[in-house]
Amino acid sequence: RGRTGEGRGKGHEADPLVMDPGWFLLFILLVMEAAALSILILPMPNNTIRGWVLDFFTKTWAVSNILRYITFFLLLLNVLYFVNSMSSIYGVEAFDLQTCEAKLDYFRHERNSYITGFGLFLFVVLQRIVMIQTQLHDTRDQVKAIKKK
């Protein structure tokens, strides 16, 4: 049972340090979503800076078709991996988990379902935060215009 994968059960990678390319792409998407969400929820010192940040995100999304295509491809991949993980979890009965390998596979699929579900949830939250921040920016601009009059 060396690192080459001999003696392992079906479904295990040959090298535990090598990540599946699909999971690597989903990891990159998750990190980018978390970074964008972190930037958007930071307290902004004034409305001008909030406008710059929002302009960057909304204009980048609106102008870059390739960014949208890549994002939607990764979301589709995320949904497929989520469905695969959930079907693996719900396809296992409690009495099937007799061996350590079966338990390991079950927990690996459970972990993967949490990762993919969190990625999908972050995408929805990111879209909503951009909408809320845009409304906040517009409202503060309107209040500032009313106060000047």
pLDDT tens-digit series, residues 3-32: 444 444 455 555 666 778 888 899 899 999
Selected residue with higher pLDDT from 97 and 147: 147
pLDDT tens-digit series, residues 96-134: 667 888 788 888 888 899 999 999 999 999 999 999 999
Sequence-ordered list of residues with C-beta below 8 angstroms from that of 115, at least 6 positions apart, any chain = 26, 30
Residue 107 token pair: 């927990």
pLDDT tens-digit series, residues 32-83: 999 999 999 999 899 999 999 999 999 999 999 999 999 999 999 999 999 9
pTM of the model: 0.76
